[in-house]
């Protein structure tokens, strides 16, 4: 039986449902002494030397654009000693409620008449539970505080504060051991 458990609950837009790559990191104190969960600086900092800036500056029309972005992220993660893996086989999303409709690009002059909008992109924003299959991955994500999601070609990421859900793993382990005994 696979050890599969919830590692986070989150609202996601339609375009955020793919979870191709993940990287794990711990919370760090910033220069003010506050504990934050930002990604490591060399991966997603504000310098032309960081991976996200290099990806942002790649030629998007290049047929190897996504492959090149993966190479940049992998080499940066390796250099920074960050666990970075392809995880689409280990992560599953379970819808847990009704989505909400969101319109992006809202500004003045877009309301044509009540309830009708011009030039806006309609998206659904829905709640999901994110599940991790530890058996398939061979990785205990709770050795880290944060799991971040990145998709090829993107110069941004999403973070899940998995330190908040460590009890889900403990509960799943307990249940798995009980099932083995019984």
Instruction: Compare 30 and 65 and report the one with higher pLDDT.
Output: 65
Burial class (CB in 10 A: 0-12, 13-18, 19+), 87: buried
pLDDT of residue 125: 84
CB count in 10 Å sphere of residue 97 = 11
Q: What is the pLDDT of residues 95-144, one digit of tens each?
A: 998 888 776 665 555 555 555 666 666 778 889 999 999 999 999 998 99
Work out the angle at residue 66's Cα, subtended by the Cα atoms of residues 64 and 69, and round it to the nearest 5 degrees. 105
Round to whole Å and give the CA distance between 172 and 145.
Answer: 18
User: pTM to 2 decimals?
Assistant: 0.75
* Lookup: tokens for 165: 């859900």
């Amino acid at each position: 039986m696979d050890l599969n458990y919830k590692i986070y609950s989150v609202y996601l837009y339609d375009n955020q449902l793919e979870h191709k790559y993940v990287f794990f990191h711990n919370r760090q104190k910033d220069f003010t002494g506050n504990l934050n969960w930002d990604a490591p600086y060399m991966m997603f900092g504000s310098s032309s030397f960081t991976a996200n800036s290099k990806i942002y500056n790649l030629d998007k029309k290049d047929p190897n654009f996504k492959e090149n972005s993966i190479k940049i992220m992998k080499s940066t993660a390796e250099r920074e000693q960050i666990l970075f893996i392809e995880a689409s086989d280990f992560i599953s999303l379970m819808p847990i409620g009704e989505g909400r409709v969101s319109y992006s690009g809202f500004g003045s002059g877009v309301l044509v008449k009540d309830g009708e909008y011009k030039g806006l992109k309609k998206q659904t924003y829905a709640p999901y539970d994110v599940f991790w299959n530890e058996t398939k991955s061979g990785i205990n994500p709770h050795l880290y505080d944060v799991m971040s999601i990145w998709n090829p070609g993107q110069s941004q990421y999403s973070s899940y504060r998995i330190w908040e859900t460590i009890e889900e793993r403990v509960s799943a382990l307990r249940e798995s051991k009980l099932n083995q005994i019984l």
